[in-house]
Amino acid sequence: MSTSTYGPGAGIADRADLVVVGAGIAGLTAALCAAESGLSVVVVNKGPSWRPDRGEQPTSTFYAQGGVAVVMPGVRSTGPDDVDSIDLHLADTLAAGSGLTDPAATRPILADGWSSVSALIGWGADFDRDADGELLRTREGGHSVRRIIHAGGDATGAAIQRALNDAVAQREADPGQSIRFLDDAIVTEVRVDDGRVTGVAYLQDDRWGVVHAPTVLLATGGAGHLYAATTNPSGATCDGIALALRAGAHVADLEFIQFHPTMLYTPGARGRRTLISEAVRGEGGRLVDAHGRSVTDGVHPMGDLAPRDVVANAVETAIELTGHPCVYLDISGVPDFERRFPTVSAGIRSAGLDPAGNRIPVVPGAHYLCGGVVTDDEARTAVDGLLAAGEVARTGLHGANRLASNSLLEGLVMGRRAAAVAVGRRDLRPAGTGPLATPGPLPILDRELLQDMMSRQVALRRSADGLAYAAETIASAPRRVPATVREVEDAALTLTAAAVIAAATARTESRGAHVRTDFPLTAEIGESHTFRLVDGEIRESGLAGITA
């Protein structure tokens, strides 16, 4: 790849076959697969260069606990309730998705799961195994059998991130396989010429730069920092949603922001909070209110292992009814808790609590964006050359409520498919000579103000009045030219909040992760709404059939 000064002191210009924006499971899987096919890849990474021992890591992948939901062919079953199949995994995914999961898109993703996981194991990911070397499997909400493989007990994401980064490091040393990182860099624009992607503009160390490429993959993760408290790391600021909207792509299902039922309750704390994995309930944990009563009794036949939207709402109801600020996860029935859940135990301890007390205070916390940039089954968006994979994308797998641990699986499968698309586009040469325009002024709301407003008006429960207030607040955002990473993020948060609010306002029913107090019923037929950016405004785009 050539590197040259771009313009008179304006920055740096590079070329690549593929630009990957984001360094989590989808992004690095795509980068590795593309490099193995001989493509030159640039990964634009918002975080610092990878070091496994950093206290805080930039990707949500790193913080994933529960594991990867995957059907393993020929796996030894441990009883009649433990016989798995793609059909059963599909049925569980459809049930959790509350009528909006697209079975035609979903089945092939689930069916590709095992080969993708096998490739990950080949890159060095070390999942937990029993004494006979069989992969251990756990259960989480909405799964009718044990099908979730895990690593390091509850450190699955950290193990995957480590394996992917180690595999990338080996390629970086191999002159035949080119993966180059731009660390501490944020993409400010996907460059599009005549409807076709030509690369990205980015900001790194106060310097602007460009990478010319025929294909750009958005793998930027989620949107947790729309809210004051979230299970997501600080980089989850909706960057890819904003980039895609500004490039002309469609988004859908953004109203379905999944709140995890069990985020550690720490009064008044902001930012990333400790997740208490659903696998804790899969291994015998029980949710009880302040008086010790079950939170989920009578709510759903699967009880504490009901789909996530159901349990999160049951927790919210218990908090309302008791007037107590949290509920408790009773872990007295979980064998060997600290050995099985070392990450959760460390998080509890660092909040000044002791897992041996057997009662963990928890509240629902913003966790996962079920919708996103609309893609087809090969990660293509509506913009020629722009791909999206992982949490930022909306493939149709998650519907209105993602089934636990389907996200790492989706990132792996769609990362591989995105790489295959990039391989097919390698000979398209972008013009790539246009000047690097500095971004124009964008609406940017103060981050804390935005997060507090979203936490009050657009969280687990919404109403027309609250949404109208939220829309007015966003409309009043002052405009300025983003000049720092933080300001680029704030502009992305502001635009995405506008899109989430528009989507939540348009959905006058309750479904999955979207609960309207003024429209409590679920419509008989569920459909997704698509939106795009037109003259700076979020407008419904009515994309038929929801393919990209």
Single-letter amino acid code for the residue at 11: G
Residue 431 in 3-state DSSP? coil
Between CA 496 and CA 226 the distance in angstroms is 8
Strands in 41-97 per DSSP E: 41-44, 68-69
The residue (of 180 and 308) whose beta carbon lies closer to ligand SIN is 308
- Residue 308: active-site member: yes
d(CA 39, CA 144): 41
How buried is 67 (Cβ within 10 angstroms: 0-12 exposed, 13-18 middle, 19+ buried)?
Answer: buried
CB of 407 or CB of 510, closer to ligand SIN: 407
Cα dihedral 382→64→302→315 (10° resolution): -100
Which lies closer to ligand SIN via its Cβ, residue 67 or residue 214? Answer: 67
Place of tokens 């218990």: 318
**Residues 6 or more apart from 37 whose CB is under 8 A from it?**
419, 423
Q: CA dist 447 to 228, 271, 406, 412, Å?
A: 9, 11, 30, 32
Between residues 61 and 407, which has the closer beta carbon with respect to ligand SIN? 407
Nearer to ligand SIN, 59 or 530 (CB): 59
**To the nearest whole angstrom, how small is the minimum distance from the Cβ of residue 125 to ligand SIN?**
16
- Strands 372-374 vs 515-516: parallel, antiparallel or unpaired: unpaired
Interface ranges with ligand SIN (CB under 6 A)? 65-66, 140, 277-279, 368, 404-405, 407
> In angstroms, what is the minimal distance from the CB of 153 to ligand SIN?
11
Q: Hey, is 327 helix, strand or coil?
A: strand
User: Smallest distance, Å, CB 368 to ligand SIN?
Assistant: 6
Two structure tokens written together for 169:
């490091």
Torsion angle of alpha carbons 331, 78, 115, 344, nearest 10°? 10
Q: Whose Cβ is closer to ligand SIN: residue 410's or residue 489's?
A: 410
Residues 6+ apart with CB under 8 A from 352: none
CB of residue 192 to ligand SIN, shortest distance in Å: 33
Handedness of CA 229, 231, 234, 235 (dihedral sign): negative
DSSP state of 53: T
Q: Which is nearer to ligand SIN, 362 or 493 (CB)?
A: 362
Residue type present at position 324: H
User: Annotated catalytic residue: which of 281, 286, 308, 402?
Assistant: 308
In this structure, which amino acid lies at residue 108? Answer: P
CB of 409 to ligand SIN, least distance (A): 9
Closest distance to ligand SIN from the beta carbon of 547 (Å): 25
Q: Are 381 and 388 in contact (CB under 8 A)?
A: yes
| CB closest to ligand SIN, residue no | 66
Closest approach of ligand SIN to the CB of residue 461, in Å: 21
- Report DSSP state, residue 66: S
Q: Which positions are catalytic? A: 308
